[in-house]
Amino acid sequence: MIRSLSFVFFVLISIQALSQEKVTLNGYVRDVSNGEELIGVTVYIPQMKAGTMTNPYGFYSLTLPKGTYEVQFSYVGYSAQTVTVNLQGNTERNIDMLGESTMMQEVVVSDKRVDENVVQLQMSKNTLDMNRVRKLPALFGEVDIIKNIQMLPGVITAGEGTSSFYVRGGSADQNLILIDEAPIYDPSHLFGLFSVFNADVIKDSELYKGGIPARFGGRLSSILEVRTKDGNNKQLSGSAGIGTMASRLMIEGPIKKDKSSFIISARRSYVDLFLRAANNDNLVHFYDVNAKLNWRHNNNNRFFAAFYSGRDVFNFGDQFGFAWGNRTATFRWNHLFNDRLFSNTSVILSNFDYKLELKDPVQGFKWTSNLEELSVKNDLSYFINTNNDLTFGYHITGRRFSPGRISPNTEASMFKEINLQHMFAIDHALYISNQQRVSEKITLDYGLRLSIFQNVGSTDLYLYNDPQNNSRPVRTDTVHYGAWKNIKTYVNLEPRAAIRYMLADGQSLKASYNRMVQNTHLVAAGTVPVPFNTWNPSGYYLTPQLADQVALGYFRNLRDNTLEFSAEAYYKDMKNVTDFADNANIFFNQDLSTEFRQGKSWSYGLELMLNKKEGKLTGSVGYTWSKTMRKVPGVNGGMEFPANYDRRHVLNIQAAYDYSPRWTFGATFTYSTGRPVTVPTGKFEYENYHPDVITERNGYRLPVFHRLDLSATYSPKKNDNRRWKGSWVFSVYNAYNRQNPFTIYTRVTKNKDGDIIGDGYTKEARMIYLFPILPSVTYNIKF
Amino acid sequence: MKNILIVALFALALAACDKPIRLDLGQSTPRVIIEGQVTNRLGSQYVKVSRSSDFYQTGPSPRITNAIVTVKDSDGNEIMFEHNPRNYADSIGYYLPQTAFVGTIGKDYHLRVEVDGQVYEADDHLYSVTSIDSLAFRVDDDEKDDPKDYNKFYEVLLYAKEPQNTTDYYLFKFYRNDSLKVDDDNEIYYSNDEALGESIDGISSPVFFGPGDKATVEAYSLSRSGYVFYDDLQKLLNTDGGLFNQPPANSRTNLTNGAFGFFHASAVNSKTIVIVE
C-alpha cells in the first residue's frame, strides 16, 4: 500500500516537473442574474482538445502553454459562451453565464454544446435538472427532489409516500444524503410523504450510484449531494408559494453587492391549522428553515455559513405526541493557495433527534434519542496541467450516538429513568485521486481512500456467553472503557478507479470500480426506515460493511447532442451487510448487539436511460432490470432470499412540454415489479389468537405498481405595474386512479366496522392502497 | 411502548383504504401446535394439542385427540393428562390432569406430548408474581363520548407494587363478568419490568366496563422465554407486511421438535371489583 502511494506521488511530481513552462487560466463561473456559482460547467478548449469542469464551488483552473485560446463554457440550461483569452501569464477570468429561462423566448441558442454526457469521465451519476423538476407533477403539489431521485434508473422506491430510496441493491441506510456537505440522517417529513429538501433553495443535486469519487465515503451504495443556493448577490429577490399541504417563502439578496449575499427560506405545512379549525385535536405539522450567508472576501478567500433545521411534530390529543428533526450547520472556507491549488475547509455539525411522549399521570413517560456529529474536512484540488487534476484531502468525524433514554414525566408515573449507553466513534479518512487525460480517447481516474474507524469509550462493553443468543442474553462480563479509550479499530483501503474511452464521434465507453466501506449501521429491520430507528457504530459486535462494485457503460448522444442515451450494467458484491435476527427487538434493547446478524448481499442489473434536455419537449425514459439477493446466517434460516428492495423491472418516464409562454405541461409515469413480501402459508390457534405460519421470507410479490401523474403550470402575463410574477401549478396525482399496493396484512375476517364475522376462525389477507386520484393546486410567486 | 409506536405508524398507513385480496398460496405442511399452562391455581392446568391448517381453511383447526400428555415437576412428580375427560363438545383437543394438582412457585415444569410416535417437550419455571393491591374504576371521558360497546365506558385502575430487586415478566388478562375480553382481537397485554418503578398507582385497563359489571384482572408471571413468545406473537399478529416493521416470522417457543405454541408455568394473582354508578 505504502509503495503504491509513493508511486502515485512519484508520478505526480514528475508530471509537475514536465509542466513548468506553462501558465494557468482560472476563475469562477457564475449565473449573471444572481451571482450563483455554477457547478460542473464544462470548460473546453477545442484547439487543445482538452478541458475541465468547474468544481463543487464553481471554480475552474486550466494550465496551458502560453498562447491565445478560444475557451468554451457550456452548461445545461444556459447559453454557451466562447471567450478568447490571450494567455501570457497566469490569468484569472470569471465568467458570467446567461440562463435560458431568463432570456427572451425568441432567442434561439445555436451554439454547439459540448457533449458532456459522453465526454465526462464520471459514470453512474445523475444530476437533477431543477428547472424540469419544477415543471413535473408532484404529490400534493410539493416539489420534492427525493421523489425525483426515486425515478432515476438504478434507483428503487419502497412504494409511494416514502422518502427512502434504494440504489443498485443497497438498503435505504446505505445512501449518504448531504445538504451542503452535512449528513441528513432521516430525510423524511410525515413518515416520508415529503422529504426535508425545500425545492426553493436547492441549487443542485447529484446522485452518485457507482464510480464514486474518493472524496466520498462512509456509505455503501450512493451519495446524494444536495447543495443550496448561495443567495443572489446582485439584487433582492425571492419567491413564495401556497400549496395544498404547505406554504413557502424564500428571500435572497446581497448584503454588499457582488461581495456578500444571504438566503433564507422557510416552509411549513398547515394541515394542523385546518384540523384545529375543525376542532380536531390531532395536530401534525412540519417545517424547514434553510439559511446561508456567503461572503467573497476576495477571489482567493471565500466564506460560507449554511444552516438547516427541520422538524416534524405530531400530537394526538393532549395525551400522546412525538417529534423528530435534523439540524445541520456548515462553515466553509474556500481558499486559493495559488492559481492551481484550490482548497476547501469545512466544519460540519449535524444532529438528528427524536422524542416520544405519553402524557398520563400514571403511564406517562418521555423517550428521547439523538445522534450528533462534528466533522472537519479539508479537500484540495490541484490542477496540475490540462492532463492531470489531483484531488486529495483529510476528513475527521466524531460521533456520539445516544440511542435512547426513558424518563418519567409526572410525579406518579409508574416508570423509572433508564438510559441506553452512549456510543462514541472517531472516523478518519485520507484520500488522493488523480484524473488523468492519457490521450484524446482515454481519460482515467484512479484514487485511494484510507478509512480508519474507531469505536471509543466511554462505555461499558457487555460480553455474552453466546453473543447471538437474543432469546436469553447472558452477560458474562462487563468491561469498562474510559473516555476516548479505543474499543475497536477498523482500517480499510478503498480503491476507486474509472476509465472513459471515446469511440467514434458522440460515443464513449466507461468503466468503473469502487470499494465502499460503511461503519455506521442503521438499526431498522423493516423495508422503510422510520425516524425512530437509531444508528450503531462498527465496534466489538458489528464489523464494517463492504461493497465492491464494477460498472460498465455505453454513452451516446444523438441529434446534435440534444438526446442523451446511456446503458450501464453493474455488479455489486456486499459483505457484512447488517441485518437483524427474526423477531429482533430493535427498540430500546439493552442487549441490542445480540440481535445483529451480518451476511452477504449481491446485486446486478442493467440500466437504460434516454434523456432529452433541449427543446419544447424535454424529458427522460429510464428502464432498469435488476436483481438483489441476501444471505444472512440467522435470518430466514440462513437461506438466501430476495432483498426487500428487489425489483425485476422498473420503468420511469418523465416529460415536460412548454406549450406556450403561458402554459407548461408535465407528466410522469412509473411502472415497477411488485415489492417482495412475506406472506403466511398457514395459520393456527393459540388461546384466542389466530397467528399465521410463516415459511419463507419475501417469497411472495405484491401486484405490479404503476401510476400516471399530470401537471399544468400557468404563468399569466406579467403585470408591468407589479414587481412580482405569479404562476399556478395544477397537478393530478395518480391520474387514472390505480389502486396501487402499499402493503399486505392478515386478520380474522371482519366487517367494515371491525367486528368479526363468519365462524371467527377464517382469516383474510388485506391489501392497503395509499393514494387514490389526488388533485392539487399551488400558487407560486417570484419577486 | 412499542405498541404505541406501531399503532401510530399504522394509523398513518391506514389513512388510506384497504381491501381483501386473495393470495395465491400453496398448501402448507401441518405442524403440531401445543398450548399448555400450569399455574398455582386449582383447575387451570390444561394442554391443548392441535395442528396448523392452510391459511384459507374455514372452521376450527384440526384437533389431536390421541396424544399422550404428561407434566412432570422438578421434584419428579409426574401427572398424566387425559383428553377431554368430561366429553365437552367445545373441549376437543384439550387435555386435563387425571388427578388435580396446583403448580408451586419456584419449581420447574416439564411437558411431554407424544403424537403418532413423535415427542414434543418443553420446560418452564414457575416464578412468583406480585399481588394486585387493589382495583378502582372511573369514567373514561373519550370512551364515554364514543363507546365501543354500548354503555361500557368505565375503565378499571390497577394498583400494585413492582418488586425492584427481581427481573419480572407479566401477562395480564381482563374479564368482564367472567368472560375474557380484549380491546382488539390481536392485543396481548404483557410487559417486562425494565422501565417500571416500584409504584404502580392506577394504571388503566384497556378493556371498558358498564355499571353493574364485574371486572376481574389477572396478573400472571412469565419466564423470560414466555415473555419472548408473547412479544413475538404480538409482532406476528400485528405485522405491517414488513414495510416499517420487520418481516413477519414465527414466534420463538420452548417446544422442541418443530412444534409451535408455548407451554408456560405461571403464578396468578387476581382482583375483582363491581362497577357501581
Contact B51, B83 (CB under 8 A): no
Q: Taking the CB of residue A586, how many other CB atoms lie within 10 A of it? A: 21
Distance from CA of B243 to the nearest CA of A (A): 5
Task: Name every chain A residue with its beta carbon within 8 A of the beta carbon of B266.
Answer: none
**CB contact B2 to A (< 8 Å):** yes
Predicted confidence (pLDDT) per residue in B179-223, tens digit: 999 988 999 999 999 999 999 999 999 999 999 999 999 999 999
Is the CB of A415 less than 8 angstroms away from the CB of B196? yes
Look at residue A241 and tell me whether its pLDDT is greater than 70: yes
Does residue B191 fall inside a structural domain? yes
Report whether pLDDT(A5) > 80. Answer: no
What's the confidence (pLDDT) of residue B15? Answer: 54
**Which residue reads 431521485 in cell numbers?**
A149
Every domain of chain A with CATH number 2.60.40.1120 lies at 21-114
Residue B155 domain flag: yes
**Total tally of structural domains belonging to chain B:** 1
- Asked if residue A108 has pLDDT above 80, the reply is no
The answer, for A603 touching chain B at a CB cutoff of 8 Å, is: no
Residue B242 belongs to some domain of the structure? no
Q: Could you tell me which of A653, A695, A694, A642 has the C-alpha nearest to residue A527?
A: A642
| Mean residue pLDDT across chain A | 90
Reported as a single tens digit per residue, the pLDDT across A378-416 is 999 998 887 889 999 999 999 999 999 999 998 889 999
Q: A769 — contact with chain B (CB < 8 Å)?
A: yes
Domain that holds residue B200: 132-223+267-274
Tell me what the mean pLDDT of segment A675-682 comes to: 94
Residue-level pLDDT at A173: 95
pLDDT at position B189: 96
Instruction: Note the pLDDT of residue A2.
Output: 45
Element (H, E) at A411: none
Tell how far CA A99 is from the center of its chain.
Answer: 26
Q: Which of A119-123, A273-277, A313-317, A681-685 has the lowest mean pLDDT?
A: A273-277
Distance from the Cα of residue B54 to its chain's centroid: 23
What's residue A678's pLDDT?
A: 93
Which chain A residues in 130-169 lie under 8 Å from chain B, judged by CB atoms? 158-159
pLDDT band for position A279 (cuts 50, 70, 90): low
- Mean pLDDT across the stretch A570-576? 98
Residue range A21-114 in CATH 3.90.650.10: no
Q: Using only C-alpha atoms, what is the Rg of chain A? A: 27
Record: fold of A227-747+769-782: Maltoporin; Chain A (2.40.170)
Q: Which residues 181-210 in chain B show a CB within 8 A of chain A? A: 182, 185-186, 188, 194-197, 199-204
Whose CA is closest to A630, among A676, A662, A673, A663?
Answer: A676
Tell me, yes or no, if B50 comes closer than 8 A to chain A by beta carbon. yes
Q: Which of B1, B246, B252 sits opposite A525 (nearest CB)?
A: B246
Q: Which residue in A673, A582, A546, A472 sits closest to B242, CA to CA? A: A582
B218 in a structural domain:
yes
pLDDT exceeds cutoff 70 at A114: no
Share of chain B above pLDDT 90, in %: 83
Task: Determine whether the interchain pair B242/A689 forms a contact, defined as Cβ–Cβ distance below 8 Å.
Answer: no
Whether the pLDDT of residue A8 is over 50: the answer is: no
Q: Which three cell numbers stand for residue A660?
A: 406556450
Q: Pick A742's closest partner by Cβ from B13, B23, B247.
A: B13
What's at A269, amino acid-wise? S
**Poorest-pLDDT segment among A12-16, A685-689, A701-705:** A12-16
Is the pLDDT at B4 greater than 70? The verdict is no
ipTM of the complex: 0.94
pLDDT band at B38 (very low <50, low <70, confident <90, very high): very high
Cβ within 8 Å of B, A 453-472: 471-472
Q: A23 pLDDT band (50/70/90 cuts)?
A: confident
Least confident of A22-36, A125-139, A267-281, A626-640: A267-281
CA Rg, chain B, in Å?
20
3-state helix, strand, coil in chain A (%, to 5): 10, 55, 35
Residue B13 confidence class, pLDDT cut points 50, 70, 90: very low
- Chain A nearest-CA distance from B70, in A, is 20
**pLDDT score, position B3:** 45
The C-alpha atoms of residue A554 and residue A561 are separated, in whole angstroms, by: 15
Query: For chain B, how far is it from start to end, CA to CA, in angstroms?
Result: 32
Residue B233: pLDDT band (50, 70, 90) is very high
Evaluate if residue A220 carries a pLDDT over 60. Answer: yes
B126-180 pLDDT tens trace: 999 999 999 999 998 888 887 777 788 999 999 999 999 999 999 999 999 999 9
- DSSP for residue B227: H
Residue A104 pLDDT class (50, 70, 90 cuts): very low
Mean pLDDT to the nearest integer, A563-585: 96
CB A380 within 8 A of CB A342: yes
Give percent above pLDDT 70 in chain A.
95
Give me the residues of B, 76-95, that contact A with CB < 8 A: none
Subunit contact B196:A416, Cβ cutoff 8 A = yes
Chain region(s) in chain A for CATH 2.40.170.20: 227-747+769-782
pLDDT value, residue B141: 84
pLDDT, average across residues A92-103? 77
Q: Is residue B89 part of a domain?
A: no
* Segment 14-33 of chain B within 8 Å of chain A by CB: 14, 16-23, 25-26, 28-31, 33
Distance separating alpha carbons of residues A596 and A466, to the nearest angstrom: 12
Residue B108 within any structural domain of the chain: no
- Give the model's pLDDT for residue A13: 44
Alpha carbons B244 and A536: distance in angstroms, whole number: 19
CB of B244 within 8 Å of any CB in chain A?
yes
Q: What pLDDT band is residue B7 in, cutting at 50, 70 and 90?
A: very low
Asked whether residue B17 is domain-assigned, the answer is no
Beta strands (DSSP E) in A230-340 are 237-242, 246-256, 260-269, 282-298, 301-316, 320-338
Lowest-confidence region among A1-15, A467-481, B244-258: A1-15
The CATH number given to whatever domain includes residue B191 is 2.60.40
